Structure 1
Amino acid sequence: MRFEIERKFLVAHDGWRASATGRRSLRDGLVGQFGRGKVRVRLDEDRAWLTVKGARLGISRPEFEYAIPCADAEAMLRNVCVGGVIDKTRHCVPHDGLTWVVDEFGGCLAGIVLAEVELDSEDQAFAEPDWIGEEVTGDPRFRQTTLLHLCGRLGRPVTMGDILALPRTL
């Protein structure tokens, strides 16, 4: 079983762009939630997969990924997903031996930019790039499920102000 260990941050400025080494377009949809876990479908330009994520234990959570046909992912995104679909461009940004991902959201979340770094252990030390802002690891307002539900509920583009206006305990 694989554990995902990641930290999430707001992005303070566009300084990361100069170091970005790759990017890809992603579409994510929430297939369902159970307890404190979820099932997500994700599609990029070349492949698709289902991800099952279990409950968080600190900043870790069990994660299982399964490749699926792209046509199946397209159908799930259109017909099955709860609360809409998230469109984003994911940029890879190496910094001090780690690869950070910077997600620029599109669609109803256009203008929202978040960064994440995956770690080998919860207590792993790492250097934060100067473009990193406030840490939002564990803040339920910045979970993709929250963002998806917010898009569906507001029926208009979501701003950072809308996200920050949510209670910190959802």
Structure 2
Amino acid sequence: MPLEIERRFLVSGSGWRVHAGEPQPLRQGYLASSEQGFTVRMRLRADGRAWLTLKAPADGIARHEFEYDLPSADAEALWALAPHRLAKTRYALALPGGDWVLDCFEGENAPLVLAEVELPDAAAPLVLPDWCAEEVTGDGRWSNAALACNPISRWAPATRSRYGWDPA
């Protein structure tokens, strides 16, 4: 079974930009999600590539992940049907220690910036860049599915202020 082993971090500052590849606009529609971590998502890139992803919990920070290519017309239809959506721009990052990406969220989740690194195993050593401000691995509030359902613009003012969004 395919596994995704990923750690996630809130990002502070713009030091990541020197490692960033080309921007890749993405739209994600969540067709189903549960608090237990099961999700069915469609993702559509600006270049028309689209795929369906099913995720399910595994052990620790690992998740089962199944991805299937979708025709772009089908993805657009699923986007229209998705009850929860988000948009972001993704950057591949040239960093050691795993496959790094950084997401700059748009709309109701702006100005959130999250970095993710996919690892070969959960115990893999990792040197964190100084712009990785806080690890949020395992905190369900920061999953894309949760952000699609409950974007940061709807979070309590005190919570938003803690992260520097709409400071008092």
Question: Common fold, TM-score beyond 0.5?
Answer: yes
Q: How does 1:16-165 map to 2 (within 5 A)?
A: 16-33=16-33, 36-46=37-47, 47-79=49-81, 81-83=82-84, 85-151=85-151, 157-158=153-154, 161-162=159-160
Which structure 1 residue ranges, 4+ long, deviate > 4 Å from structure 2? 162-165
SS across alignment from 1:148: helix
The change in CA–CA distance for 1:67 and 1:93 in structure 2 (over 3 A counts) is same
- CA deviations 1:63-115 (Å, max 9, x no partner) are 00000111111111112x122x1100001111125331110001111211000
* Sequence identity percentage: 42
Instruction: Give the drift of 1:148.
Output: 1.3
Please tell me whether the aligned partners of residues 110 and 158 of structure 1 are also in contact (alpha carbons under 8 angstroms).
no
- Superposed CA RMSD in Å reads 2.2
Please tell me whether the aligned partners of residues 97 and 119 of structure 2 are also in contact (alpha carbons under 8 angstroms).
no
TM-score (norm 2): 0.86
Structure 1: tracts of 5 or more residues without a match: 166-170
Partner of residue 9, structure 1: 9
The change in CA–CA distance for 1:31 and 1:92 in structure 2 (over 3 A counts) is same
TM-score (norm 1): 0.85
Structure 2: tracts of 5 or more residues without a match: 164-168
Taking the aligned partners of 2:93 and 2:12, their CA distance within structure 1 comes to 15
Q: How many residues align?
A: 159
SS across alignment from 1:71: helix
> Which amino acid is 2:62 matched to?
S
